[in-house]
Chains A and B, each alone.
Chain A
């Protein structure tokens, strides 16, 4: 059964080789910004608890 969701997921999976280095760069950048798990500073805190990013930097429900 192939629907739009599968096609989106397939396209993402197909890009794994290109995505992997970008994801690693992003992880290192987060560490450099002191946004590792358990840290609490600035407008963005607690990377592992993204429901708990206050102000309009919360993605859900208002990415404002």
Chain B
């Protein structure tokens, strides 16, 4: 749907429920054990990735005070993200994980280059769930490079080899910079061979310090997703996030239950920066500063409990973002599928939080659903 097009209100648009306001308890927190990354991927959004600013244990203790209570009441996870979380070292990560109760799930999102036998033993001993960032076979991984600009693929492959040797299940996240036909089948075949159990495909986004344009030809993006759907269908061993969600939505429309598919409220997904600063909803906003919005932080866990900071999210940019969600609900036919655009995409594409359509949502929501429909109609 184009921006500015007049929209008739009817029962169906008004009937898309969910995503109203922020939940008071998150499902997970994202923690930044260090800002440092040992790679320097071309599309990375992290501003401080060359600096080793480490999270003090006091920050983890402060987060754990709430997380342990939440985990006792329901499923709750900590996702160690970065920087490259393993660049913090096993000793420091051990100290940061220590304050969390056994019931808190631990996850890492890693570039895999540092994974070796010792890390695999660390993951196995603590039940840490691992997700690796890899963009496909070697020639498609050219953007994942070392600080000296050298391809990191051989080290990524070695790390994944260690996970396999230890029989550890893992997920993969793949960034696609140029979605087009001819690419998706190759990518899916690669990930089948790689042996991941879950796959997420991210079309490159313009956010953080990555200012590369992310507009693509709609027909090419649709063809990419249609091809991925066909490849997945031929061997659906992998949980392919984009396909699973598309099919769940399409099935709900057929059943007439699509109006109630979205979560009732938005998960605030707090990101805890290395220094304890809390940024809600979008990890990509952490570490940034804007003349109008300031540093996007809702506070710091070293001075206020995380649960208290979540309760005071009615200030700053968050209300403007919630207006943006309502604007999506009111204007976009894909809202029931999408749930409304993400904060970082709105901010980095529009400069504010209450807009609706972004290149990101065209690439990863609208043309995804249309591509899956194209596949279905052609099959």
Contacts and interface: CB of A to CB of B under 8 A. Distances in A.
B24 interface: no
A41 to B, nearest CB: 8
Contacts of B75: 45-46, 52, 54
B63 interface: no
A60 B239 contact: no
Contact of A15 (B28, B171, B197, B377): B377
A7 B109 contact: no
A50 B333 contact: no
Contacts of B377: 15, 18
B331 to A, nearest CB: 9
B342 interface: yes
B263 A60 contact: yes
* From B283, B333, B343, residue with most partner A Cβ within 10 Å: B333
Q: How large is the interface on A (under 10, 10 to 19, 20 to 34, 35 or more residues)?
A: 35 or more
B373 interface: yes
B196 to A, nearest CB: 9
B38 to A, nearest CB: 20
Contacts of A26: 236, 243-244, 247
B250 A55 contact: no
A55 B77 CA distance: 8
B253 A55 contact: no
A6 B286 CA distance: 38
Secondary structure dominating the interface of A? helix
A41 B129 CA distance: 10
B8 interface: yes
Nearest to B341: A61
5 contacts: A3-B8, A4-B7, A41-B169, A54-B28, A56-B131
Interface of B: 1, 5, 7-10, 12-13, 19, 27-28, 74-75, 77, 79, 105, 107, 109, 129, 131, 169-171, 173, 197-198, 200, 202, 233, 236-237, 239, 241-245, 247-248, 250-251, 253-254, 258, 262-263, 266-267, 269, 281-283, 332-336, 339, 342-343, 364, 373, 376-377, 379
Which 6 interchain pairs have the tightest Cβ spacing? A29-B236, A54-B77, A4-B333, A43-B171, A5-B333, A3-B8
Interface of A: 1-9, 11-13, 15-16, 18-20, 22-23, 25-26, 29-30, 32-33, 35, 41-46, 50-52, 54-64
Given A12-B250, A58-B269, A61-B267, 16 more contacts: A15-B377, A19-B254, A22-B376, A32-B236, A32-B237, A42-B129, A42-B169, A43-B171, A44-B197, A50-B245, A54-B77, A55-B79, A56-B173, A59-B245, A59-B339, A60-B19
